[in-house]
Structure 1
Amino acid sequence: MIKTIAVGLTLLMTLAACTTPVERTSTGDIPAARVYIKSMTEQAAGLSQITFTRAAGLLNNDMLELAINDVVLAQIAGGEHLSIWLKPGSYDFSIKRVSSLGSNAGPTTDKLTVQVAQGGRYQVQVSTELRGLTLQLAK
């Protein structure tokens, strides 16, 4: 029994050592190193604001890739948020797990289409639930 516990703890510590610590900011913004299309984070006249927010919590520990029209925009961790600025039009946002170590809890991607109007402000909630990943437009 003690050997089993010791082996389990050793395995757990080995796996923990393999994970890279997540860089965080004091404001909860996604660090610049994980934002791949930095030009979209710059506010300009005629653009609409879209803010992505991911709650912190046990189910939100895995890193997710946030994409716009199938192009990776950023990686988002639990408790982080990102604001981007877009011209009016239709945009497809999607999320997927960066890596999932044996996690098969529901779908590993989700998509949301947003019709962006000029001067609009949109809040998109990113979450991980037992049934999988979700993107929801906040009302």
Structure 2
Amino acid sequence: MIKTLAASLTLIMTLAACTTPVERTASGAIPAARVYIKSMTEQAAGLSPVTFTRAAGLLNNDMLELAINDVVLAQIAGGEHLSIWLKPGSYDFSIKRVNSLGSNAGPTTDKLTLPVAQGGRYELRINTELRGLNLQLVK
């Protein structure tokens, strides 16, 4: 019993040492180092804002990749947000876990197609639920 407990604690400490602390900003915005298409974060005439917000909490601790039209836009952690600016058109957004170690609850990806109109404002909410990842348009 004691050997099993010691082995378990050693394994937990080893896994904890392998994790890298997540860089955070005071505002809750995704740090620039985790935004891969920085040009999309710049406001310009004729573009519509799309804001992504990820809930904080116990189920939202894993890092997710946020993609636009199958190109990774950023990595988002729980409690963070990102605003991008897009031309009118239809865009496919997706989220997936960066790594799914220990995350067997439900699907590890979710997708949403968003038609962006001139002058529109859009907010997308990202949640990790017991049944999997959820990307939804906030009305």
TM-score interval, smaller chain: over 0.9
TM-score for both structures, normalised by structure 1: 0.97
For 1:91, the equivalent position in structure 2 comes to 91
How far the C-alpha of 1:3 sits from its partner, in A, is 2.3
AA at the equivalent of 1:60: N
Structure 1: how far apart are the matches of 2:49 and 2:22? 26
For 1:116, the equivalent position in structure 2 comes to 116
For 1:2, the equivalent position in structure 2 comes to 2
Q: Which runs of 4+ in 1 moved over 3 A?
A: none
Q: Deviations over 1:70-105 (max 9, x none)?
A: 000000000000000000110000001100113221
For residues 66-85 of structure 1, the aligned pairs below 5 Å read 66-85=66-85
Q: How many residues align?
A: 139
For 1:133, the equivalent position in structure 2 comes to 133
User: Percent of aligned positions with the same letter in both sequences?
Assistant: 86
Instruction: Please list every run of 5 or more consecutive structure 2 residues that lacks an aligned counterpart in the other structure.
Output: none
Structure 2: how far apart are the matches of 1:92 and 1:37? 15
For residues 35-54 of structure 1, the aligned pairs below 5 Å read 35-54=35-54
For 1:32, the equivalent position in structure 2 comes to 32
Structure 2: how far apart are the matches of 1:7 and 1:39? 48
AA at the equivalent of 2:18: C
Structure 2: how far apart are the matches of 1:100 and 1:39? 29
TM-score for both structures, normalised by structure 2: 0.97
Structure 2: how far apart are the matches of 1:94 and 1:103? 18
AA at the equivalent of 1:116: V
Q: Deviations over 1:33-82 (max 9, x none)?
A: 00000000000111000000001111101100000000000000000000
Structure 2: how far apart are the matches of 1:109 and 1:99? 11
AA at the equivalent of 1:87: K
How far the C-alpha of 1:115 sits from its partner, in A, is 0.7
